[in-house]
A and B are shown apart, each in its own frame.
Chain A
Amino acid sequence: MRKEGRILVISPGSGLTPEALCRHLVERGVKVGLKETCFGLVLEGEEEALRGALEKARELDRYGVFSKPRGYPPGDPRICRASKGGSPRMGFHFLDYELEKLPLIGEALRELEEGRGAELKGEERRKLPLGELKQVLAEEVP
């Protein structure tokens, strides 16, 4: 079976730490390779096992753990900073940028799933009928 890599990123708004998440997954006996990082975990394993690990990780914080596929295996010497002689990890800047947005996205997902925020839908975008436009003109341009 082909192996895949996956990044689990902990949102800055979450109370979780990479260590706590790692321990939770190990205690639940997930059959994937794990590596703790500063932003969360890097996982490697078969697709089914990865999906199971992701579900178990979300048991801890459904709106605080995000994931995306990763190309290289954890600790791969081809892109490891130790063997490259420094410089940021490939994809670091992108991850760093997205990390800032995760608390907002998590909060929005929570509201969506709890059915809150529907009242904030706002005015629907559409072509304004001529009558309404005339009315706006009359109000704005005395």
Chain B
Amino acid sequence: MERFGHTPLSLGREIGERVRDPGLDNPPLNLTEEDLVRGLRYVSIEAPSGVRGRMGVLGPLVDQAEAAVVVRNTAYAFGCSGCFRAGLQVLYLLRRKGIPILEVEYPSTREEARGMVRRIAEFLGGLKG
């Protein structure tokens, strides 16, 4: 994203803001009650707490997003099912928001990598205009 002149909305940056806050001192938890309450804006109360907590952090990022690149075929990399369900919810919210979305797959060959990079570059270039 940054190479093509755009600003990615990063989960790392969000977590960084929280863990540098002196009020948060109960590791390994990096969420506060406020995040869980905020999560209710994006999922119902029946949703598993893992999904709700994640949506408390991811939801505001979806609100800020002006475009999205979704990378599919992530294998095991995204961890437990809570992450996966939260990912599905994020995808649902993005589609409902109606912003430009590009869906690509993680590459396994040089050809696929070329295709992926070219598609992302074209997509991001089109957003500028």
Give me the interface of A with B, judged by CB distance under 8 Å: 2-5, 7, 67-73, 76, 78-79, 84, 90, 93-94, 97-98, 101, 104-105, 107-109, 111-112, 117, 120-122
Contact = CB atoms under 8 A, between A and B. Distances in A.
A78 B118 contact: no
B76 A101 contact: no
Given A109-B3, A117-B118, A78 B19 contact: yes
A94 B114 contact: no
A70 B12 contact: yes
Main DSSP-derived SS at the B contact region: helix
Contacts of A5: 12, 16
Nearest to A4: B16
Contacts, number: 85
Contacts of B107: 101, 104-105, 108
B12 A111 contact: no
19 contacts: A2-B20, A4-B13, A68-B10, A69-B13, A70-B12, A70-B16, A71-B12, A71-B15, A71-B30, A72-B16, A78-B19, A78-B27, A79-B28, A97-B77, A98-B77, A105-B116, A108-B110, A108-B114, A111-B114
B84 interface: no
B20 A73 contact: yes
Closest 3 CB pairs of A and B: A71-B15, A104-B113, A78-B27
Residue of B14, B79, B113 with highest tally of chain A CB at under 10 A: B113
Contacts of B114: 107-108, 111-112, 117, 120
B117 interface: yes
Contact of A109 (B12, B75, B106, B117): B117
A74 to B, nearest CB: 12
A20 to B, nearest CB: 22
Given A97-B75, A98-B77, A112-B121, A76 B110 contact: no
Contacts of A67: 2
Given A71-B16, A107-B114, A111-B114, 15 more contacts: A5-B16, A7-B12, A70-B16, A71-B15, A78-B27, A97-B75, A98-B77, A101-B106, A101-B107, A107-B113, A108-B113, A108-B117, A112-B117, A112-B121, A117-B118
